[in-house]
């Protein structure tokens, strides 16, 4: 009887200890939850003092177009190239020449025995201009006052007024200005190609911004998945602690559940770091210096899945690719250059004609009046030839230009095949990722249902920690695979757009 009393007392003490352990564990779990809640509340309060920037794919692209330093640098390449046109047209500039001089000559002359003393003052003004026809026109007016001690000078002192017009016409290499006009055409084509190059650079920046944006969307999704898995791991750990306290679970199960919980916390820390790094990369591309700014993503990875038609996309790519247009422009430029080189085989032939009229009087006003009344004039017409005998330089340049044109034709064919290959591969990638996304969506649903069924078995005590953790891991991997595939699908659409050079056109309609 005494032994029975001791046994009852022993069982009562064990029961009280078990109840106390459960209460302590509940208090610990509660305190952990409170700590987590405090951490979340602190983070929320901290965010209240920081700037949160809400961004969508459209708004982040608009910000990049306005703020990106790379885009601003790319624009200046086009701006600089445009200055070459005025430089090339400078051959048609008008030149004004002004000249004034004074001369006091006391030198002896061999034609007279008297000492001579001559003073002269002159002022002249001229205008010269080259026309697109290859003609050069010079207009000149001069006013000269001369006084001399020579007795042979009839009018002393005298004023001479003169006016002259000279026309020079090129008839050889620069036949009626053909070379000058063609070089301007080549410059315009070069400027257009420089603009294509700048647009390519700008589009590449937009590509980087959008891929980084979708990378941030992916990191947000992964963060949510990791957080959800941490909650599941915490729930499993709490349940095993309760079961262990009641003697319904083995120590190995609680070790496994705790290790799983710690592992999920570590994975969440890694996901938070990865999101922060991607966010900072995006802020850099947007030229934002304050890395404390947080970004609120307005888009999700879930989207309407679209298939692309290969033939339609290939045709569009050929029509819009800038590298194809660039080589076409180079071919046009080279055709013009070949015409210039052909004309370079010609000799230099210049036709020159001039008409000069003057008047000499003792009065300056009378001298200028004589220009309109008298017939004192000089007319000149002449032609000059400069013929290279071997002309090796011109022949070599013409041959080189023709060879370069043949090279450009081959390059055009190669770029055409490259465009077709790239566009074909990108279309196939889009369609394949669409199919993969649909499969992964069904896999996620199956893994979620599998875990739910296993948790029902767990509640009935018919499952182990190893099975539940393994099923949670299967669901985690399926959700991560789905998120990554959705991200790759969005990137593949951007890849296809940049392959066709149509990405920039969606967001920028203004001129460069």
Gap between the Cα atoms of 342 and 324, Å rounded: 27
Q: Which of 376, 377, 359, 374 is nearest to 142 (CA)?
A: 359
pLDDT of residue 102: 86
Tokens representing 336 are 């013009």
Three-class DSSP labels, 15-28:
HHHHHHHHHHHHHH
Tokens representing 399 are 């041959």
Number of neighbours of residue 260 by Cβ within 10 angstroms: 25
The three-state secondary structure class of 442 is helix
Condensed to tens digits (0 to 9), the pLDDT of residues 73-101 reads: 999 999 999 999 999 999 999 999 999 89
Gap between the Cα atoms of 226 and 232, Å rounded: 10
DSSP string covering 66-106: HH-HHHHHHHHHHHHHHHHHHHHHGGG-EEEEEEEEEEEE-
Burial 278-296 (b: 16+ CB within 10 A, else e): bbeebbebbebeeeeeebe
> Helices (H) and strands (E) in the chain — how many of each?
10, 8
Exposure of 229 by Cβ count < 10 A (0-12 exposed, 13-18 middle, 19+ buried)? buried
pLDDT of residue 127: 94
Strands 377-386 and 118-130: unpaired
pLDDT of residue 14: 46
Q: DSSP character for 347?
A: P
Q: Which of 122, 126, 158 is nearest to 143 (CA)?
A: 122
Strand extents, DSSP E, 301-436: 348-361, 377-386
Gap between the Cα atoms of 401 and 340, Å rounded: 10
The three-state secondary structure class of 125 is strand
pLDDT of residue 36: 38
pLDDT of residue 240: 86
With a CB cutoff of 8 Å and minimum separation 6, the contacts of 348 are: 170, 172, 173, 384, 385, 386, 387
pLDDT of residue 154: 60
pLDDT of residue 390: 86
pLDDT of residue 105: 72
Condensed to tens digits (0 to 9), the pLDDT of residues 206-255 reads: 999 999 999 999 999 999 999 999 999 999 999 888 888 888 778 888 89
Gap between the Cα atoms of 354 and 167, Å rounded: 6
pLDDT of residue 352: 93
User: Is the pTM higher than 0.85?
Assistant: no
pLDDT of residue 151: 57
Strand extents, DSSP E, 344-429: 348-361, 377-386
Tokens representing 232 are 């599941």
Tokens representing 124 are 């002249």
Task: Extract the residue ranges of the chain whose pLDDT is less than 50.
Answer: 1-3, 5-7, 10-11, 14, 16-18, 20-48
Gap between the Cα atoms of 254 and 239, Å rounded: 9
The three-state secondary structure class of 394 is helix
- In terms of phi and psi (left: phi > 0; alpha: psi -120 to 50; beta: otherwise), the region of 441 is alpha
């Amino acid at each position: 009887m005494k032994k029975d009393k001791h046994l009852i007392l022993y069982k009562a003490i064990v029961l009280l200890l078990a109840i106390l352990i459960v209460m302590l564990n509940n208090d610990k779990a509660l305190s952990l939850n409170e700590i987590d809640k405090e951490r979340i509340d602190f983070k929320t309060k901290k965010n209240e003092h920081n700037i949160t920037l809400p961004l969508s794919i459209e708004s982040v692209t608009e910000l990049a177009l306005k703020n990106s330093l790379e885009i601003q640098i790319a624009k200046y390449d086009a701006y600089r190239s445009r200055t070459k046109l005025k430089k090339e047209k400078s051959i048609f500039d008008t030149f004004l020449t002004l000249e004034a001089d004074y001369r006091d000559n006391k030198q002896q002359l061999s034609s007279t025995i008297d000492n001579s003393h001559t003073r002269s003052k002159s002022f002249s003004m001229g205008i010269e201009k080259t026309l697109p026809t290859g003609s050069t026109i010079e207009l000149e007016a001069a006013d000269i006052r001369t006084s001399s001690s020579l007795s042979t000078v009839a009018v002393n002192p005298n004023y001479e007024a003169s006016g002259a017009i000279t026309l020079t016409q090129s008839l050889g290499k620069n036949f009626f200005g053909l070379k000058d006009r063609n070089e301007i055409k080549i410059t315009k084509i070069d400027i257009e190609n420089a603009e294509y190059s700048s647009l390519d650079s700008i589009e590449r920046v937009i590509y980087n911004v959008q891929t980084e944006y979708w990378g941030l969307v992916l990191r947000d999704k992964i963060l949510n998945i990791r957080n959800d898995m941490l909650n599941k791991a915490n729930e499993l750990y709490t349940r095993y602690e309760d079961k262990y306290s009641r003697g319904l679970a083995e120590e190995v199960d609680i070790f496994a559940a705790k290790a799983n919980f710690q592992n999920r916390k570590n994975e969440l820390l890694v996901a938070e770091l990865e999101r922060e790094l991607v966010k900072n990369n995006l802020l850099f591309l947007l030229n934002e210096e304050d890395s404390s700014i947080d970004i609120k993503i307005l888009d999700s990875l879930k989207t309407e899945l679209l298939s692309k038609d290969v033939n339609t996309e290939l045709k569009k790519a050929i029509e819009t690719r800038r590298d194809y247009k660039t080589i076409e422009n180079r071919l046009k430029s080279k055709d013009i250059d070949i015409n210039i080189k052909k004309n370079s085989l010609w000799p230099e032939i210049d036709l020159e004609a001039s008409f000069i009229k003057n008047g000499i009087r003792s009065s300056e006003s009378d001298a200028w009046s004589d220009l309109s009344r008298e017939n004192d004039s000089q007319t000149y017409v002449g032609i000059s030839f400069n013929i290279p005998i071997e002309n090796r330089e011109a022949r070599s340049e013409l041959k080189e230009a023709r060879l370069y044109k043949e090279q450009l034709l081959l390059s055009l064919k190669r770029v055409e095949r490259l465009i077709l290959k790239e566009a074909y591969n990108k279309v196939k990638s889009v369609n394949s990722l669409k199919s993969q996304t649909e499969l992964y969506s069904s896999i996620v649903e199956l893994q979620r249902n599998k875990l739910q069924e296993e948790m029902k078995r767990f509640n009935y005590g018919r499952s182990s920690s190893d099975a539940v953790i393994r099923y949670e891991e299967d669901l985690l991997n399926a959700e991560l695979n789905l998120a990554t595939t959705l991200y790759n699908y969005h990137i593949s659409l951007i890849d296809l757009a940049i392959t066709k050079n149509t990405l920039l056109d969606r967001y920028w309609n203004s001129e460069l």
